[in-house]
Amino acid sequence: MTVPASPSSLPSSAGAAAPCRVAVAGASGRMGRMLIEAIRASDDLVLAGALDVEGSTFLGNDATAFLGHASGVTITADVQEGLSGADVLIDFTRPEGTLAHLAVCADRGVKAVIGTTGFTGVQKAEIASFAQRTAVVMAPNMSVGVNVTFKLLEMAAKALSTGYDIEIIEAHHRHKVDAPSGTALKMGEVIADALGRDLKDCAVYGREGVTGERDPSTIGFATVRGGDIVGDHTVLFAGTGERIEISHRSSSRAGYAQGSLRAARFLAAHRMGLFDMFDVLGLHG
């Protein structure tokens, strides 16, 4: 498949490296369009494929038509066709779709950035097996700011390990299908790990009726769904006489898109393996 590149996507000089060719899954969705717009605006990435589900009314359309431009990349439901010219796939869809896409990526040697959430333990193990054949960055939130927040939470949990009750409150738009959000769960995992606990054993996902006194070893979650909220997350460390709140609020999906492009660039140096945004940002340790 021939993929013409816009001037903004090409190297600035003849000696520059060839641009990374990126395919986007869920191309007609809110996140897919944000990714496509960010790729088009970048200097070192070029759109090479656009995938959508069977039955989508956008199949056959130019992937950048919504921007008023022609890219020459047609939205398709054929995964083989959509990945035929790609170096890396960015996927923010649903678990089943992502796994189907990743199987093709592994076969073709296409790398993958996965922002999809809601995977089961079995599905995560399947992703790990695919990462033995290609390079994958997988994170519940691709935002650079959110991942720095994870690091702050790790530090706070260690310093506030006794005498503080921990609650995680998250809010998203009415269309989100999983709860708590993958980001909220990751926050819980980061905190639990820092405290030497297992989130499966200490998480409380809902309270109703006469619940009794709060168990200080638990980590509570509260979920809000409504309107067009992009994503709000607050972790509350409530002590005696004080409380500390660490929050991250997204006003648009642009932060997720820019983090995803950063992950795609990171993968250029890796042939296989499973990575997260801490690897991309150098936050481990």
Q: What predicted TM-score, i.e. pTM, was given to this entire model?
A: 0.82
Q: Which of 69, 111, 151, 176 is catalytic?
A: 176
pLDDT tens-place string over residues 80-119:
999 999 999 999 999 999 999 999 999 999 999 999 988 9
Q: What is the pLDDT of residue 15?
A: 56
Mean pLDDT is lowest, of 5-9, 188-192, 229-233, for 5-9
* CATH of 144-250 given 3.20.20.140, 3.20.20.70, 3.30.360.10, 3.30.70.141: 3.30.360.10
Q: What is the pLDDT of residue 121?
A: 94
Answer with the residue of higher pLDDT: 54 or 13: 54
By DSSP bridging, strand 88-91 and strand 231-238 are: unpaired
- Residue 155 neighbours by CB under 8 Å, 6+ apart: none
Are domains 7-138+253-281 and 144-250 of this chain identical in fold? no
Report the Cα 241 to chain-centroid distance in Å: 37
Residue 140 pLDDT grade (very low, low, confident, very high; cuts 50, 70, 90): confident
* Mean confidence (pLDDT) of the chain: 93
Q: Which of 101, 111, 172, 186 is catalytic?
A: 172
Write down the domain spans for the chain: 7-138+253-281, 144-250
pLDDT tens-place string over residues 170-209:
999 999 999 999 899 999 999 999 999 999 999 999 899 9
Q: Which CATH superfamily is domain 7-138+253-281 in?
A: NAD(P)-binding Rossmann-like Domain (3.40.50.720)
**Residue 172 known to be catalytic:** yes
The share of the chain scoring above pLDDT 70, in percent, equals 94
**Residue 248 known to be catalytic:** no
Cβ pair 32, 61 in contact under 8 A: no
- Rounded distance between C-alpha atoms, residue 243 and residue 246, angstroms: 10
